[in-house]
Structure formats: C-alpha cells, structure tokens
Amino acid sequence: MGGRRMKIIETTIVLLLSSSSIGDAQLFDVTKYGAKEDGVTSIHQALMKTWELACTSTSPSKIWIPKGKYALKEVKFSGPCKSHIELQLDGILIAPTDTGSFKTDGWISFENIDQFTLSGSGTFDGQGMHAWKFNDCHKRLKCNVLPMNLRFDFLTNAIIQGVTTLNSKNFHVNVLGCKNITFLDFNVITPEDSPNTDGIHIGRSDGVYITDSNIKTGDDCISLGDGSKNVHVTGVECGPGHGISIGSLGRYGNENPVSGVWVKNCTLTNTDNGLRIKTWPSSNRGIASNMHFEGIKMVNVGNPILIDQQYCPWNQCNTGISSLVQISNVSFKNIWGTSSTPVAVKLACSSKLPCKNVVIGGISLSYSGSTSETLSSKCSNVVPSFSGTQSPKVCST
C-alpha cells in the first residue's frame, strides 16, 4: 500500500511543481475583463477572453474567479495551450436552469490540454433540482441527456483540487480519454434522491487518482466504464449514494478492457451498495481484471461486497443469456462494519465465463437490521480462495 500511496504523492508533487503559484504566474482576473458578480449576467465572454490570453501565453498563466456569485452559460475550454494553465475558482458559478439552452451534455468542458490545474475553494452549482424530474435515462434507452457539471476530455497531467461540484443535472464529472489526472480534496454534493448523478465517472482513461475526497450523491460515488486503467481511489468518503462501482460493462460493442483498479482506505456510509462490479447479461464480450479493494469501512451499507453479472435495471436486457464479460484477479480484503441487507457478500458470476482468481480475506461485517436475522452470503459460478476472518462465512453453501 505504501508504494502506491507514494506514487500518488510523487505524481501530485511533480504536477504541482510544474505549475506556478499565483505570485509568479501571469494572472488574469476575470472581473478585469467584464465579468459581473451579480449572479445573473453570464461571464462567458470574460472567461473566453481570459482563456484565449492564458492559453496562447508561452509562460505559465492563471485565470482567477474571485469570491462572489457568477452566472455562466455552457462553455468549453479547449487546448492545446502553449504552457501550463490554471483556473482558480474561489467564487460560485451558477448554471442555467433551462435545459433547452444546452447544446451538448456538458455545462463546463475542458478538452485537449496538457499541464492543467483546476483549483480553489469555489463551487460549480449545476442547479439540478430544476431538471431532475426530466432525468429518466436510467429508465429508458431513448431519452434526453441532461448536461453534466464538468467534463474532462483528453487531458494529460491534470490536477483538480479543492473545488466543489453541487447539484449537477446529470453526472457531476465525466473523465474521458485522460492520462494522469488527479482529484485531491474534491467535493461532490447532491441529495440521495437525485437521479443519475454519479460523482466521478471514468472511461477510457489511464492513470486516474482520486484521493482524500468527499462524495455525497444519488448514484454511484465513483463509477468506472470500459477502458479504465490504473485507477487509484484512496481516502474517499462516499455516501449517500450507490457506492463505488466498476461497470456496468458489456452493454455496448467494442468496449475496451478494464484493468488495474485499487480502492483503499475508504469509508462508505448509508449507501445502497458497497463495492460493486456489474456486467450486463446477454452482453458483448469484455474483460475486467486486476481489481482490488482493501481497508474499507462500511456503515449501514447495502450489499457491501457485490459481483453482479446479471445487472439488468428496468428490464432492459435478456436475463436468460449469460454475461460474456470475463472477471478475473479480484480481491476483497480487510472489509469491516455494518450491512443494511441480510446478504452481505454476493458473488453472482457468469455461468458461461465464471469468475477467476477471486480472493476474500479479512471480512468482518455485522447486520444493522433486525437482530432476528443473521448475515449470509450467496455465490454462483465462482470458487474463491480465502484468508483471515470470514464473517459472515463466504460461499459456505
């Protein structure tokens, strides 16, 4: 564990050293370029002007949004830029409530940038409470996709630190095609009844670090789609929400393998699920391997440990056909706390491609529900290896 933790710290230090402090970077204060702190007038033009100046500068630059409330319509920050660029948000950015004003699925997007930092004590307020009643993509295939608060597309060497994303209309954060991106002291806040508001969704990215962050939401705190590689989640507080999930996988064709996931020293509180790997039945072929969960505290968590290869919400698939996603090299170690469901460990693997090399070690869970019931486990199409305490007994029947 120490080696991987040091790798996270070293990566962060390298990126921070490559950036510049507010004192030695060229500073662009958006209020000097026409941004009004009235919470009504969009600061889009001021941001675009400062981004153009900062992005074309051959020396490190910083765009600064001071404390205050600022309205902002849909905006895209594009690279490549000529030097390191930082956006420091200390104010509150407020999204439009009218979903018809968005042309894409991202309120604020960053794309094709190398050496980028998003920092500050500010908040991205998506005002999602006005749109959640229209968010039904979790129920049907044909739907109107609502905008996410933040999109990070094809970034290399990026740090997201200190900021908060609040009440997104859809996913809070989408990470796509990124390489070496770090989230530090990052905060997600949404009520537990908000639909489809994943905290951080990752896809087709290599080297994602989520450290010492707090995620409260209505869907997965962290979700990993296909092509996620070398993902490190450490010191995350998750809950409410649906837990930390790999998948769902196998729903679409040409999905890339998921490989190399480490979730360590996290706490899940009052979540619907805990640590979950989910794939669709009647699926396309896929691979998910080298996934490890260790040192996880559960507080009143439903389904604390779950492999579900029959994931089929809202009857959108054929459950009679086995999943073709091969799951292998998985470990659950040192998992303790309380389960809100009688089945604490469920390993439901594919009958066509049984799970391989699953290790269970040091499980100590108690039931937070009725004292008349005891915890149990359910297993199918898997033969795990064991070490340490097993409470409840895993795969005993």
Domain boundaries, the chain: 2-391
Which of 289, 287, 277, 279 minimizes the C-alpha distance to 250? Answer: 279
What whole-number distance in Å separates Cα of residue 138 and Cα of residue 100?
20
What whole-number distance in Å separates Cα of residue 166 and Cα of residue 190?
6
What whole-number distance in Å separates Cα of residue 94 and Cα of residue 38?
11
CA-to-CA separations, 226 to 180, 204, 255, 306, 380, in angstroms, rounded: 17, 6, 6, 18, 24
Asked whether the beta carbons of 369 and 394 are under 8 A apart, the reply is no
- 279 φ, ψ (degrees, to nearest 5): -135, 155
* Residue 130 annotated in active site: no
Asked whether the beta carbons of 302 and 265 are under 8 A apart, the reply is no
What whole-number distance in Å separates Cα of residue 282 and Cα of residue 287?
15
Q: How many C-beta neighbours within 10 Å does residue 14 have?
A: 11
Residues 6+ apart with CB under 8 A from 212: 184, 185, 234, 235, 236
Domain 2-391 homologous superfamily, CATH: Single-stranded right-handed beta-helix, Pectin lyase-like (2.160.20.10)
Mind listing the pLDDT tens digit of every residue in the chain (397 residues)? 444 444 544 444 444 444 444 457 899 999 999 999 999 999 999 999 999 999 999 999 999 999 999 999 999 999 999 999 999 999 999 999 999 999 999 999 999 999 999 999 999 999 999 999 987 766 666 677 899 999 999 999 999 999 999 999 999 999 999 999 999 999 999 999 999 999 999 999 999 999 999 999 999 999 999 999 999 999 999 999 999 999 999 999 899 999 999 999 999 999 999 999 999 998 889 999 999 999 999 999 999 999 999 998 877 777 788 999 999 999 999 999 999 999 999 999 999 999 999 999 999 999 998 776 789 999 999 999 999 999 999 997 6
Q: Residue 18's pLDDT is what?
A: 45
Pair of tokens at residue 309: 């290869």
Q: Which candidate in 172, 201, 232, 242 is catalytic?
A: 242
- Residue in the structure block whose two tokens are 């070490």: 387
Q: pTM of the entire structure?
A: 0.94
Q: Residue 5's pLDDT is what?
A: 46
